[in-house]
Amino acid sequence: MGDRGAIFQPGANTACLHGGAMFFRALKYFLGLSLVFILPFITGCTGKENPEKVDFEKRSALDQGENHSDKILRVAIGSMITPEEGFAYYKGILNYLEDKLDMHIKLMDRKNYTETNDLIKTGNADIAFVCTGAYVVVHDEAGAELLAMPQINGRAVYHSYIIAHKDSDINNFTDLKGRSFAFVDPLSNTGKTFPTYLLIQLNETPDTFFSRYIYTNRHDKSIMAVAQGFVDGAAVDGLIWDYLDKTNPRYTSQTKIVLKSRPFASPPIIARKTLAPELKKNISGILTGMHNDEKGREILKGMMIDRFVRADDADFASARNMIETVNEKKRAY
């Protein structure tokens, strides 16, 4: 049976969302505020006024079919948080790469993980910041290669958090039976695959377990949806929840974690298979050496990570096995 979840999108038709019009009006207002939403491993805000160098247009000239130059590095960002709130914080690490590589960077964003993966698969992006699940898919389908992944608190891992409103009577995953739920993206390891895997253990599907479910496309939107009472629960990236809880807890403070998954390899930075080997080596070396110079350490501090470390495909075996289990179950439906 196909997913019947709706897309959580301000301005979307809310008829299928069971009276969500009031929430969308509220969301439109809140998104208009200057909230500090940020990806835990790709933000470089240092509080200093630095010259803006990176092109942060959503649809760059390259993205529209212009010939690619060897002096331009095309960087795709997975849709993990709201772009309008996060773009400013990509500048630190991308400007750092631009300086070290002596290349101009073009940034491309997409609405979901599939579109970001497609940029890597078709060679229209050179490197990408993606989630763990998206990496497994694009590696297996197109040979995408690992460049680095973030280490936080001494470990290069992260977790899926199942969250509910802090004032609800939901205290574990099974309490969500018959309730509403927010997934992030069909390829999201923490925001879709893990909760689906939990349902398989219960011999359930999203259609049989939840009263309704939606896709928000962003982890911060899932947190907002729970905080505002639009859904009863959600599955989100623990790195993002933790970061927001420390830096801007307006919405996380209205939620509680009812289940924490086992650890998975951290969301990596990847490269297309056909990118020049020497360039891949250089980028990987720059990222994993950032902690060795003052500017790099300042950026890493703003990102709230220890350092970038090298990654191996074997690190993603746990996520890959879970994805395979979920896919096998889907084929049996």
CATH of the domain at 244: 3.40.190.10
Query: E strands of the chain, at which residues?
Result: 6-7, 72-77, 104-109, 127-129, 145-151, 157-158, 160-165, 180-183, 212-215, 233-237, 255-260, 264-265, 269-271, 307-309
Pair 133, 172 in one domain: no
**Which of these, 8, 15, 120, 107, lies nearest to 61 by C-alpha position?**
107
Pair 76, 143 in one domain: yes
The most confident of the ranges 49-58, 105-114, 138-147, 239-248 is: 138-147
Pair 172, 251 in one domain: yes
Assess if residue 132 is contained within a domain: yes
Pair 241, 291 in one domain: no
Mean pLDDT of 180-208: 97
Pair 23, 72 in one domain: no
Predicted pLDDT of residue 88: 52
- Residue 177, domain extent: 6-33+160-261
Pair 142, 282 in one domain: yes
**pLDDT higher than threshold 70 for residue 75:** yes
Of 241, 261, 281, the last residue of a domain is 261
Q: Which residue has the higher pLDDT, 2 or 307?
A: 307
Tell me the per-residue pLDDT of 214-273, one tens digit each, with 9 for 90 and over.
999 999 999 999 999 999 999 999 999 998 998 889 999 999 999 999 999 999 999 999
Assess if residue 233 is contained within a domain: yes
Predicted pLDDT of residue 17: 41
Structure tokens at 44: 């470089």
CA distance 24 to 29: 9
